[in-house]
Amino acid sequence: MWKPLQGEGGWDGEVIGRRRNGELYPKHVAISVVRNEQGDITNYVAAFSDITERKRAEEEARASRLERAAERGPDGLKT
C-alpha cells in the first residue's frame, strides 16, 4: 500500500475492519495523498465503504455456480 501511495499518489483495495461490537467485516478503502507546492506529502485522504453485502452476494453466486457444476457429470453434461 505505501509504495503506490508515495509513487503514484493513491491506493485502493480491500481490508478487514472491526465494528464497535468486535465483529470483523470487509471494507473497500481508497486513499489519496495531498502534496504541498514542493511535492512533499502533507496529508492522506481516505474513503471507506462497507462491502459486506457485496461480498455476501459474490459468495452466494460462487456457491451457486459450484453447485450447478457439481450437478453436471465429468463431461459437463447434466446427468
Give CA–CA dist 56/76, Å, rounded.
27
Reported as a pLDDT band with limits 50, 70 and 90, residue 26 is very high
State yes or no: pLDDT of 76 exceeds 80: no
Predicted TM-score (pTM) above 0.75 = no
Rounded to 5 degrees, φ, ψ at 66 are -65, -40
Neighbours of 10 (CB within 10 A): 13
Give CA–CA dist 13/24, Å, rounded.
16
First-residue to last-residue Cα distance in the chain: 48
The reported pLDDT for the residue numbered 78 is 61
pLDDT in tens, 40-64: 999 999 999 999 999 999 999 988 8
More confident: 70 or 24:
24
Mapping DSSP to helix (H, G, I), strand (E, B) and coil, where does residue 19 land? coil
